[in-house]
Amino acid sequence: GRARPSHSEPRGRDGRGEDEEEMEGWHQLYPGHIPTSPLQKALLAAGSAVMALYDPYRHDMVAVLGETTGCLALPNLRDKMKNHPEGYRILQERPRIRLSTLDMARLQGLPDGSLGREYVRFLEDNKVSPDTRMPPKFVDDEELAYVIQRYREVHDLMHTLLGMPTNMLGEVVVKWFEAIQTGLPMCVLGAAFGPVRLSTRKLQVLATELVPWAIRSGLNASCVLNIYYEQRWEQPVESLREELGIFPPP
């Protein structure tokens, strides 16, 4: 049953509490959606940012940060997808990159250098799974929730295309590329503060080679969310890089 408010709780003119009035009209937009007010989003963003900076491998906190701070970037990404034929089809068909949707045996049998084979190799070498990507909870628009879900599920494909591992150096490089591409504050934060944990030698390589290349590639490349990767598994990685406008990794 539902707990009854105490008599000391402020009541509206119709007898309802202020919290009840504030939540009126809010409803679950998609499975797992949690409606939140602007203040609640701000508190979640602040808390998740602190935790993500303390431990960059707290993917749950990184996910919350992305959802609560993407109010400007996500509509922009959605509009880019809507204005591109392949991106528009992705928005209409809503494909998902999960173990349940991937034919792993087929991908493993593709030629070396193909997107599908190199993607599987990346997953195996780094011991990661596409199923670890958290579903959205705090995005108050069903279509934008799919956009951030899609961004998360193609993140490992960004590693594959950029030739970057999942160690801290590789993650920082990918975040620089994604920050330029998406404008998501979460990516900007990761790109700016991720390097603080790197050694002096790695910082030198990052500053002189990897970050300039990631920025140039991010600026030059077309929107990476407009590629229907599930229909490009046979395409050579080098060919897809050229199509997107990603410069060869240094």
What pTM was computed for the model? 0.85
| DSSP H stretches of helix in 84-167 | 85-93, 104-108, 115-126, 142-153, 155-162
Q: Residue 132 is which amino acid?
A: T
The b-or-e profile of 66-99 (16+ CB within 10 A means b, else e) is bbbbbeebbeebbebbeebeebeebbeeeeebee
Ramachandran category for residue 24: left, alpha or beta (phi over 0 → left; psi -120 to 50 → alpha): beta
* The pLDDT value given to residue 59: 76
Q: Could you tell me if 153 and 133 are in contact, meaning their C-beta atoms sit under 8 angstroms apart?
A: yes
pLDDT of the residue at 82: 98
pLDDT at position 140 over 50: yes
The predicted structure's pLDDT at residue 7:
41
Q: Give the confidence band of 194 by pLDDT, cuts at 50, 70, 90.
A: confident
**Whole-angstrom distance, CA of residue 238 vs CA of residue 99:** 25
Minimal CA–CA distance to 67: which of 10, 158, 128, 151?
Answer: 151
Quote the CA–CA distance of 171 and 211 in Å, as a whole number: 11
- Mean pLDDT, rounded, of the chain: 88
Span 30-47, pLDDT tens digits: 999 999 999 999 999 999
